[in-house]
Amino acid sequence: MRIGLIRHFPVEQALPTGWRTAADLHEWRTRYDLARAVAKPLDLGSDPWGACLSSDLDRAIVTAKAAYSGQIEVTPLLREPELAEFQTGRLRLPVSLWRWVLRFAWITGHRSQRQSRDDFRSRVAALAEALDNRDEDTLVVSHAGMMAYLSAALRKRGYVGPKLRAADHAQLYVYQRPSRRWNESLLSSAAARRD
């Protein structure tokens, strides 16, 4: 079985630059979530896909409709995490520094982001479980952060595919669980090398 992860089309909302407050970044995120998707070519390979799941945000749904002609299962579980706004008032920092602050708060489980982080990790685990239990090749249209965590969860479950950090827009990343015969072949070749 194959699982194909696709990041949504790019949108008509540029990334923020310069010095910004936490509130500025929160407002930008709202505009980004409402921005129109800009379609671009998709290459899904020659093998057909049996099902498609999509985030419930418009940019993902537009991408899913361009990628898949059948019924699309739309779910909010495929959204990015909802990061809590830092209560820093009028403090302005460069956007690049805000990224590091958010990453640090996320990784360390800072109280401002802990609930969001834990909820997101639970969603990723539930999605990986649900995808692993499917019988058909499935496309999943989502967002960069979700894809990075979901790809890691699939790899932990034995799927073979690329390690993702920041997925490209409208790019297909395929994860496949090796067949039993492939695993046996791999184990026998490893044993032969040891002898």
Dist CA 153 CA 123 (whole Å): 11
Three-state secondary structure call for residue 162: coil
Kindly state the tokens that stand for 188: 């026998």
| 78 contacts 127 by C-beta, under 8 angstroms | yes
Smallest Cα–Cα separation from 20: which of 79, 82, 80, 97? 97
Dist CA 1 CA 139 (whole Å): 11
Residue 180: predicted pLDDT: 53
Helix locations, the chain, DSSP H:
22-34, 58-67, 95-108, 114-132, 144-156, 180-194
Kindly state the tokens that stand for 181: 């015969």
Residue 82: predicted pLDDT: 82
For every one of its 195 residues, what pLDDT tens digit does the chain have, with 9 covering 90 and above? 899 999 999 999 888 999 999 899 889 989 999 999 999 999 898 889 999 999 999 999 999 999 999 999 999 999 998 877 778 888 998 989 988 888 888 888 888 888 888 999 999 999 999 999 999 999 999 999 999 999 999 999 999 999 998 899 999 999 998 875 444 444 455 555 555
DSSP for residue 179: P
Enumerate domains of the chain plus CATH numbers: 2-194 (3.40.50)
| 120 contacts 112 by C-beta, under 8 angstroms | no
Indicate if the alpha-carbon torsion angle 115, 33, 53, 149 is positive or negative. negative
Q: What pTM was estimated for this model as a whole?
A: 0.84
Indicate if the alpha-carbon torsion angle 133, 51, 8, 82 is positive or negative. negative
Residue 183: predicted pLDDT: 47
